[in-house]
Structure 1
């Protein structure tokens, strides 16, 4: 069994997510829809599902021919308890699949910023024990409305839904927790117009990256190692493997 990663555009890869999954001994299967890969119709052989970001809109099929297939796959994962991690666009698609919605936001939120964890986050399998404030990379201008029963895990004043859990094993992250140095460079190069809208532009985002990533890294790795352990359990592995030494206490 493999973890299926749906990737919409070249620059928005799994980065630190893939590092955590591979460190846990998991096989990563990429579905690169921009290259013409077909979104699977079911979850046969899939231990977990990761859906990445992209410039498309979760609320429109225009320019997004795989939208319906991805929503159907997410609905299947929710129904069967397959672990899910949705990032940015992927989080918005997860919200739609769970019975909520996605819609335009109040304008682009691009660059580094803080999110506040909710009280519920301290009881969440992935977020428990993380700092109350996380410095993260934002890169979006759409947002989402959560379905009934979903749990908000992180928020900020401008965009109240920054992270959520739907059901027991599906998480949506509006921000880019997967970010590492390579991801920052890829985003700035792939989306220069967006980057220009941030304080200091693209160069400002790059120059600030080392300090922000140093602060984010331990929390990012802790959360992603926990998700990887959950995926490993689903794949039939022991959650703690002799070949897997977590980077931090998970």
Structure 2
């Protein structure tokens, strides 16, 4: 059986709604936290699929989080080998950095449910499932577009919301996996100021989650299922 490894940068940011399409594609899922002593010894080239989830830290905070530099070095080796890799939010920023892009704090926070603007390149692939579908955003960092990649989606606040490199590397700034997972409420407890910093309020964010979450996750699962189906079998 194919093996997928999920890297959690904090315990309350797991794969959530993405688990279903990954298992349906025939992967056995392993998970490791960056705080696990075994994490430093892993060869990130080995898993058939690598999934890196979100986290509140910034890629540029390597003095505070020494594991970031270590993970970036090993991630760069995986990307150089063109091994299937998915990054979500902080995970997407890690992919960008490992490909030589700059990751930096954005001008505003982006927290809440709204759709991304899927461009023509995105509409011809898996992101077509996200057209006009509000999905969860929860970030304040952004990145320059790495060389050799293709931009797939933007938003009103951030130009770089999703990109791919070939068939095997997909980076998503937004959280189309969230909308049915109770950890959403833990996010709100961890960062109660986030909605206000983005110009909203917690009550409206909860209401949007309850109203729009199931549709967001359904679209996110369809998107990920299509992407997984398009991966080339190893030679």
Would the TM-score normalized by the shorter structure come out above 0.5?
yes
State how far apart, in whole Å, the 1-side matches of 2:35 and 2:206 are.
26
- Counterpart for residue 79 of structure 1: 80
- Counterpart for residue 109 of structure 1: 110
2:18–2:220 Cα contact (<8 Å) kept: no
* 1:29-68 mapped onto 2 (5 Å cutoff): 29-43=30-44, 45-68=46-69
- Counterpart for residue 248 of structure 1: none
State how far apart, in whole Å, the 2-side matches of 1:20 and 1:188 are.
26
State how far apart, in whole Å, the 2-side matches of 1:228 and 1:25 are.
10
Shift of 1:161: 0.4
Show structure 1 runs of 4+ deviating over 3 A: 34-37, 195-200, 227-231, 233-236
- Counterpart for residue 154 of structure 1: 153
Q: Gapped runs of 5+ residues in structure 1?
A: 237-250
1:220–1:57: structure 2 CA closer, same or farther, 3 Å change rule? same
* 1:1-250 mapped onto 2 (5 Å cutoff): 1-43=2-44, 45-124=46-125, 126-127=126-127, 129-182=128-181, 183-198=183-198, 201-230=201-230, 234=233
SS at match of 2:212: helix
Q: Deviations over 1:86-116 (max 9, x none)?
A: 0111111100111211011012111112210
State how far apart, in whole Å, the 1-side matches of 2:37 and 2:233 are.
28
Shift of 1:200: 5.1
TM-score (norm 2): 0.89
Say what the alpha-carbon RMSD is for the aligned residues: 2.2
**Number of corresponding residues:** 233
2:86–2:171 Cα contact (<8 Å) kept: yes
SS at match of 2:29: strand
State how far apart, in whole Å, the 2-side matches of 1:185 and 1:37 are.
30
SS at match of 2:133: strand
Shift of 1:199: 5.3
Shift of 1:230: 4.8
Shift of 1:179: 0.7
SS at match of 1:157: coil
State how far apart, in whole Å, the 1-side matches of 2:105 and 2:78 are.
26
State how far apart, in whole Å, the 1-side matches of 2:66 and 2:22 are.
28
2:135–2:176 Cα contact (<8 Å) kept: yes
Shift of 1:43: 3.5
SS at match of 2:156: coil
Shift of 1:22: 1.9
1:115–1:80: structure 2 CA closer, same or farther, 3 Å change rule? same
TM-score (norm 1): 0.84
Q: Gapped runs of 5+ residues in structure 2?
A: none
